[in-house]
Amino acid sequence: MGMTFRNLPLFVLLLAGLVAQAQEVRVLDGRKYNVHRVQAGQTLYAISRSYAVSVEDLMTANPGASDGLSIGEELLVPLDAVQKKELRTAPILRNDGELLHTVRKKETLYGIARSYGMDMNILLERNPDAINLKEGMVLVIPIEKVSGPTSAALAPAMSDSVTVHEVGPGETLYFLGRMYGVPVESIQQANGGLAEGLKAGMRIRIPGTSGPMMLTKDSSTVDHSNERFKVAFLLPFSIPRNDSVLALVDNSTAHRYYEPTRIAVQFYNGAKLALDSLEKLGLRADVTVLDMGEDQRSWNSVVKRPELSGTDLFIGPFHRSAIEQVARANRQAHVVCPVPQSNKVLLGMPNVSKVTPTRSEHVQHTARYVAQKHAKDLIILVRPEIPAEKDLQDQMATALRGAMNTPGVLVQDSLLVVKPGLRDMSPLTGKLSTTRLNVLVVPSENIEFLTSLVVKLKPLADKYRIALVGLEKWTTYESLAAIDLDVLGFRYAASSFLDPKDPRVMAFTKAYRNAYRTDVDEYAFLGFDVTMFYGKALMSEGSAFPQHFDRVHSAPLHMGFRMEDTGPESGFRNGYALMLMQKDLQLIKAP
């Protein structure tokens, strides 16, 4: 019969869980470091908590750590980065990677769980005696249940028999599992769970491999190659509003298009190029294209068309009411909203997905970026007295405070809030630091205020280091000169990014011009990316693809897809976003 240990003295637990070893101190370039030898299962997050050093400082001191820890490697812990106040109550790191937390006076189970970013019930499950919490009690913190830190910080140390893979656009865990012949669960475990999914450019570890395998049809759990699908495009061509029906055939007349028509034509032309590629890849589909028009009188009759019966996938309509009508009439089909709409379009519509994130999702992404990338900088929330923007400002303030209080994100200061006037920037300029990077988060779209802000900040850029974090709409304001935003390090969250130097983008642009004798715009790229993603979803997962969005790999040209279920009775939204910044008069991906 096995032994059960409860409420043992701390020194007994340490003897059971730790290997005593002398702490080596090493001096490099005049800087002192503790040397930590990594054990199997230990993570950057757990090591950082035990030494009271931020994950960011550990990664800076050990650049290779961002690709994962190896068993037996030496990790340098900078002594000058230790938070002495936190060190006094830091948890103890066991060799197996779990942490031992000693309960302090007045601590609660809820507070301890929150400090480690986990549910109180999980902590109680691991420590059943904690139901009667007492000062001095030692709790085991299961690192695999921690949420908040990045996947790299939660990835456990492993042997050197791993492959580091840089994630490409649109790659999924299912795709990588097939590529390397490794279970998805193993990849997740080797990379701290990957709670936020994969992102292009991320470097992850593939355990127990030496390289990718050749993919074959047999590596898919279900073969859908012989299935034939029905796909319908319901787009607002609005033919009667244009000079000629021939405009849909001859794009040389595009200058005469009614604007919704121009958008629909660009979208569908991009979609056709995707359909051509999908056909070569093996997609078997019957495609129907119908003009939905712009009002309910026109789309009522379209929705009832007999050729739509049995459709597996609808791309479009663009209007919310039309989407709801199509979704209700075709419960077995999936309906894609490809253009910006409120998330309300998903409520009560489990067979609908929306691919364009809303501004609120960009706010959340901005907050996470600022908290993670600028934890050591001076973060200032700029809240001008503009009543119409109070909700937006409140949303950003809440998101920032939440991101800055996330376990594992060790910000140096609390959020500083300033309230300048429409033209009076002195409440802001008086708070700028001459020694630190000033990260100014400005949730405003008021052109009068923003123009005054940029005019005032530009001459200060020589004295202060400034990173101006704003909104995508700023890029449409003529009064905000690109050269001025460049000086201020302007950056913002976006749903998509077109790199004109990307060979794939260049090839698509050339093919589009050759096929349609007109220039390409963002709606053509949108039509291509959406059609490729959902077409490949049908090919790899069949009509049940909404249950397996994480397996779909499409390599989009300008946008990413991270589809998230919004609830059992609602549809799917795209959680993908990225930060862009102005540099040398060009937009680039922010570091």
Q: How far apart are CA 315 and CA 327, in angstroms?
A: 11
Report if residue 485 sits inside a domain: yes
Q: Which domain holds residue 389?
A: 360-494
Range in 165-174, 363-372, 446-455, 462-471 with the lowest mean pLDDT: 165-174
Phi/psi-derived region of residue 140, left when phi > 0, alpha when psi is between -120 and 50, beta in every other case: beta
Report if residue 445 sits inside a domain: yes
Same domain for 443 and 422? Answer: yes
Of the two residues 468 and 358, the one the predictor is more confident about is: 468
Average pLDDT over residues 244-264: 60
Report if residue 464 sits inside a domain: yes
Average pLDDT over residues 246-267: 66
CATH code for the domain of 169: 3.10.350.10
Same domain for 462 and 508? Answer: no
pLDDT of residue 250: 46
Average pLDDT over residues 24-41: 84
Is the pTM higher than 0.85? The answer reads: no
Which band of pLDDT confidence, cut at 50, 70 and 90, is reported for residue 219?
Answer: very low
Backbone torsions φ then ψ of 217, nearest 5 degrees: -60, -30
Same domain for 190 and 234? Answer: no
Give the rounded percent of residues in the chain with a pLDDT score beyond 90.
43
Question: How does the average pLDDT of the chain come out, rounded?
Answer: 84
Same domain for 490 and 506? Answer: no
Residues 319-364 pLDDT 10s:
999 999 999 999 999 999 999 888 899 999 999 999 998 888 899 9
Number of domains in the chain: 4
Residues 277-297 pLDDT 10s:
999 888 999 999 999 988 888
pLDDT of residue 178: 65
**Which amino acid is present at 307?**
E
Same domain for 392 and 269? Answer: no
Report if residue 136 sits inside a domain: yes
Domain termination site, one of 469, 494, 519: 494
Phi/psi-derived region of residue 282, left when phi > 0, alpha when psi is between -120 and 50, beta in every other case: left
Report if residue 79 sits inside a domain: yes
Of the two residues 420 and 98, the one the predictor is more confident about is: 420
pLDDT of residue 454: 95
Same domain for 525 and 437? Answer: no
Same domain for 364 and 489? Answer: yes
Give the rounded percent of residues in the chain with a pLDDT score beyond 70.
87
Range in 177-181, 305-309, 581-585 with the lowest mean pLDDT: 177-181
Report if residue 588 sits inside a domain: no
Same domain for 24 and 105? Answer: yes
Nearest to 116 by CA among 45, 207, 41, 31: 45
Same domain for 288 and 311? Answer: yes
User: Residue 106, SS3?
Assistant: coil
Report if residue 181 sits inside a domain: yes
pLDDT of residue 9: 39
Report if residue 238 sits inside a domain: yes
pLDDT of residue 529: 95
Same domain for 36 and 129? Answer: yes
Which residue matches tokens 């979208």? 267
Average pLDDT over residues 370-384: 92
For 402, the token pair is 């939440």
CATH code for the domain of 241: 3.40.50.2300
* N residues, the chain: 591
Which band of pLDDT confidence, cut at 50, 70 and 90, is reported for residue 569?
Answer: confident
Same domain for 350 and 279? Answer: yes
Domain termination site, one of 219, 237, 265: 219
Domain termination site, one of 532, 547, 562: 547
Q: Residue 225: is its pLDDT beyond 50?
A: yes
Q: Residue 18: is its pLDDT beyond 50?
A: no
Nearest to 470 by CA among 376, 355, 369: 369
pLDDT of residue 96: 77
Average pLDDT over residues 409-435: 89
pLDDT of residue 14: 39
Same domain for 346 and 466? Answer: no
Q: How far apart are CA 496 and CA 587, in angstroms?
A: 12
Which band of pLDDT confidence, cut at 50, 70 and 90, is reported for residue 75?
Answer: confident
Residues 521-546 pLDDT 10s:
999 999 999 999 999 999 988 988 99
Residues 142-184 pLDDT 10s:
888 888 888 778 888 876 556 767 777 667 777 777 666 677 7
Burial letters 541-568, b for 16+ CB under 10 A, else e: bebebbebbbbbbbebbbbbbbbeebee
Q: How far apart are CA 208 and CA 341, in angstroms?
A: 44
Of the two residues 180 and 484, the one the predictor is more confident about is: 484
Q: How far apart are CA 483 and CA 362, in angstroms?
A: 24
Which band of pLDDT confidence, cut at 50, 70 and 90, is reported for residue 128?
Answer: confident
Residues whose CB is less than 8 angstroms from the CB of residue 346 and which lie 6 or more positions away in sequence, other chains included: 352, 353, 354, 566, 570, 571, 572, 573
Q: Residue 95: is its pLDDT beyond 80?
A: no
**Which amino acid is present at 346?**
L
Residue 22's alpha-carbon distances to 34, 37, 78, 89, 204, in angstroms, are 11, 11, 17, 21, 32
pLDDT of residue 85: 87
Nearest to 564 by CA among 546, 552, 579, 580: 546
